[in-house]
Amino acid sequence: MIYDKLENIGRYKGMNKHLDTAIDYILHNDLSSLPSGRTELDGDNVYINVMEAAAGPLETRKYEIHKKYMDIQIDLAGTEAIHTGDMSAMSIESYDAASDFGSVQCPDLASCTIGPGNFILCMAEEPHKPGIAVSDDIRLKKCVFKVHI
């Protein structure tokens, strides 16, 4: 997991060519102008899902994993907590290869609060639990960059 201010995202270039594509887009475009739904930057290699959602209580959230993609999660409006889990102690409950989405159980490892102006990068196979409410205002608008590894 990498958690940082959005203004620092350029520091993470060079880790993966598809990640560089996503970072370049973030640096040179207005994310708030993206339409809801999927926007492709490089086909299935790099795309963005823009969504509106509601954060919820910690006990209603589950850990998820992706085996083929890393996520860059950026809140455009609203604030949420995201937990990351201990992948060395995770047990996979389910995994769908077509959607690259799995549900896992594992102990908490770290947590952070994101909102406009910062981001979290969750590596492939790193358990993460997004959408945890941190206030009474549970409305979120976020973009999730899906970056093929």
Which domain does 24 fall in, by range?
2-148
Give pLDDT tens digits for 2-46.
999 999 999 999 999 999 999 999 999 999 999 999 999 999 999
CATH number at residue 16: 2.60.120.370
**Cα–Cα distance measured from residue 139 to residue 122, given in angstroms and rounded to the nearest whole number:** 22
Domain total for the chain? 1
Q: 0.85 exceeded by the pTM?
A: yes
Give pLDDT tens digits for 65-87.
999 999 999 999 999 999 999 99
